[in-house]
Amino acid sequence: MGVIGRKAVGSRDLIARFLTHAALVFAAAVIGLPFLWMLTTALKSPAEVYIFPPVWWPSELRLDNFATAWRSAPFGRFYVNSIVTATSGVALEIAVAALSAYAFARIKFRYRDQLFIVLLAAMMIPGQVALIPNYVVLKHLGWINTYRGIVIPHVSSVFGAFLLRQYFLTIPESLYDAAEIDGMGHFKTLFFIALPLARPVVGTLALYLFISKWNSYLWPLIVTNTQNMRTLPVGLAMLRQAEYAIGPEHLMAASIFVLVPVLVVFFIAQKQLIEGIAAGAVKG
């Protein structure tokens, strides 16, 4: 605002600036309102839930809705399942990605270009097409309703391998040469030279993978068949079934359990994540 005072800004410019902010505030409100509605509903008493016009802010905050929601299903167990499958999935996928990224960036091999095209082709195949065959394979392996079954089919890496390969290619040749002279093999060079240098990229990739694994619904839904193996999104979705017979305030409270970790990760690292997405898409 100080800028406007100091410089003689035309009134047309002022109006344009006002309209820009008005439009953006409106857009942010449209996006933010459902989140706010989720939160206020989760804090309402049943009497204030079923009322129209709605109460914007509950007269008394019913924090016990969260306790009721937590007890309505084994949410502690869902949390463990989600944390175990998401973190182990991220670790495995990054390992797989780093190994193949390094190979495509640094190791000479006669069929490297052809294999790179194979990797490219994999990106075009949607996971939704693979549901039935993956289920059949897992059944043969005896992995249905296990952590392995949830995790392993989704730790192959195309996007991550590309991203890390791009980064490894930017590391100066002389560093790789130095590593070789010091008697480091490819494996050591990857772990002690390339990966530490790529830490920011690996970090962004890890956050991105964590969020997408945490949020995934369709595959864990298919591959789990007992309540104690469900991940948070699957467990949350099941709450809507009639057997639970819980109100919207509890559904919203339970939704918040599921959302909190991703929203925390997002708002801590939002700049990094948004810029990573933009950069990835523009290059790709």
Peptide bond between residue 248 and the one before it cis (omega within 30 degrees of 0) = no
Q: Does 171 bind other proteins (CB under 8 A)?
A: no
> Is 152 one of the binding residues for other proteins (CB under 8 A)?
yes
Q: Is the sign of the CA dihedral 107, 109, 113, 117 positive or negative? A: negative
Q: Which stretch binds other proteins (CB under 8 A): 43-51, 62-70, 83-91, 197-205?
A: 43-51
DSSP 129: G
Please state, in angstroms and rounded to a whole number, the distance separating the CA atoms of residues 23 and 266. Answer: 24
Check residue 281 for interaction with other proteins (CB under 8 A).
yes
Q: Is 135 in the site for other proteins (CB under 8 A)?
A: yes
Residue with tokens 């869902």: 78
Using CB under 8 A, which of the segments 49-57, 67-75, 162-170, 191-199 binds other proteins?
49-57
Q: Residue 138: which of 154, 124, 123 has the closest Cα?
A: 154
Of 181, 226, 242, 243, the one binding other proteins (CB under 8 A) is: 181
CA 186 to chain centre: 31
Judged by CB under 8 A, the residue of 6, 7, 110, 199 near other proteins is 110
Determine which residue in the list 61, 67, 95, 268 makes contact with other proteins, applying CB under 8 A: 95
Question: Binding of other proteins at residue 78 (CB under 8 A)?
Answer: no
Q: Judged by CB under 8 A, does residue 37 bind other proteins? A: yes
**One of 137, 144, 197, 246 touching other proteins (CB under 8 A):** 137
* Sign of the four-CA dihedral 91, 95, 96, 101: positive
Of 35, 57, 191, 244, the residue at the interface with other proteins (CB under 8 A) is 35
Q: Which residues of 165-177 are buried (b: 16+ CB within 10 A; e: fewer)?
A: bbbbeebeeeebe
Q: How far apart are CA 129 and CA 280, in angstroms?
A: 25
Q: Does 267 bind other proteins (CB under 8 A)?
A: yes
C-beta closer to other proteins: residue 26 or 196: 26
Using CB under 8 A, which residues numbered 190 to 249 contact other proteins? 211, 214-215, 217-218, 221-222, 232-234, 236-237, 240, 248
Shortest CB 127 distance to other proteins, Å: 8
- Min dist. Cβ of residue 181 to other proteins (A): 5
Cβ distance to other proteins smaller for residue 64 or 177: 177
- Exactly one of 65, 100, 204, 224 binds other proteins (CB under 8 A); that residue is 100
Angstrom distances, CA of residue 253 to CA of 58, 215, 257, 260: 14, 17, 7, 11
Whole-number Å distance between alpha carbons of 64 and 47:
15
Question: Judged by CB under 8 A, does residue 24 bind other proteins?
Answer: yes
- Is residue 271 a contact point for other proteins (CB under 8 A)? yes
What is each CA distance from 113 to 29, 109, 276, in whole angstroms? 49, 9, 26
Residues touching other proteins, count (CB under 8 A): 104
CA-derived radius of gyration, the chain: 25
